Amino acid sequence: MKLKVTASKGGPCNHQLRIEGAPMILLMVLNSEGLSHSYEIDSLRVNRQSLSPLERELYNKWNGKFDGELEKYGDDESSEYYAMYFISIFSPAFDCTYIASSDEIVDIWNKINNYASSCGKSEFELLLSRLFREFAAWLKGYFGDILGERSIDHSVKLSLFEKPDFDASDPSILYSFGYDLSFNSAILSVEMGSSGICYRVTGVSNPGDLSFYQPNILESNTMLSFEYLSDLAKEVEEGLWPSALYATIAESGTIEALLEKSSDAQNHPATRIEITNICEDALGIYCPNCAT
């Protein structure tokens, strides 16, 4: 995995970072830390040439198949979103630009170094640690004048991987629950979350369990559903982490923020069906009379 990162220094408040070949999991982490960016998750395009041969083959194959299924049902949603379930969360698939202040550069450098030096030994953690070390080394090399010879501040952690510490008696936290969500939707859910919502990744599914999210559009087609699962299993056999795998999320926040997120999800009914269903479940428990 090789990140290609370029940057322009625009003063203490607006350094621009252009990342070519950013994996989905890195975008999820940077977005959860609140870094400003110049793209919308929905409109990101996959850099197909950066994919492994199997990923590229299956992405192209299922882009076509989903396009046919969507056309059959008169759905105008993008087939590319569905095909992204075949993109590994660690593949250098996206090109994007972030804007960060000097303080944010220092903060993210500390946090990814902390994760890399203290994470566990699962395959997911080791792959993520390797990615973070690469990104931290680039930040150190380019922003040496900002980072200097400073030691790592071990008191700061990536919020996405912190243990949930929600206090149910805290009046500012009006709902708190956990659920499983595909990584493809998890990155979108984090992107949609306002300042009134907090997310934690508390676990990831083991690729070897072959447990994948299936889009609703496949439910009525048994043969196509079987082919979809079989192709995802091929990727796992090759050591990939397709984004159809599940992340276990702990979420908390205010009802107002949840209503806003639910409304946003319902404006994109096909690509955000996972998120819509989870919002409805939460509102059914915490605000059964809320209209979304």
Query: What percentage of the chain carries pLDDT values higher than 90?
Result: 34
User: Residue 3: pLDDT band by 50, 70, 90 thresholds?
Assistant: low
Q: CA–CA separation, 116 vs 126, rounded Å?
A: 8
Average pLDDT score, the chain: 84
At 67 the pLDDT is: 86
- Tracing tokens 């640690």 back to the chain, one arrives at 129
- The tokens for 96 are 């994007």
215: phi then psi, degrees, rounded to nearest 5: -60, 145
- Under the banding of pLDDT at 50, 70 and 90, the label for residue 169 is low
93-151 tens-digit pLDDT: 988 888 888 889 999 999 999 999 988 889 999 999 999 999 999 898 888 888 877 77
The per-residue pLDDT for range 108-123, each reduced to its tens digit, is: 999 999 999 988 889 9
Report residue 244 CA to chain centroid gap: 11
For residue 52, the SS3 value is coil
Quickly state the pLDDT bin for 37 (edges 50, 70, 90). Answer: confident
Residues in a beta bridge with 181: 247
Task: Extract long-range pairs of 139-148: CB within 8 Å, 24+ residues apart.
Answer: 139/105, 139/108, 139/109, 140/109, 142/5, 142/7, 143/7, 143/15, 143/102, 143/105, 143/109, 146/102, 146/105, 146/106, 147/105, 147/106, 147/109
CA-to-CA separations, 130 to 118, 127, 274, 290, in angstroms, rounded? 12, 5, 30, 44
- In this prediction the pTM is 0.87
- Of 187, 197, 163, 136, nearest in space to 25 by CA: 187
* The two three-digit tokens of residue 137, written as one number: 């080394």
Q: Which residue has the higher pLDDT, 272 or 11?
A: 272
Answer yes or no: is pLDDT of 276 > 90.
no
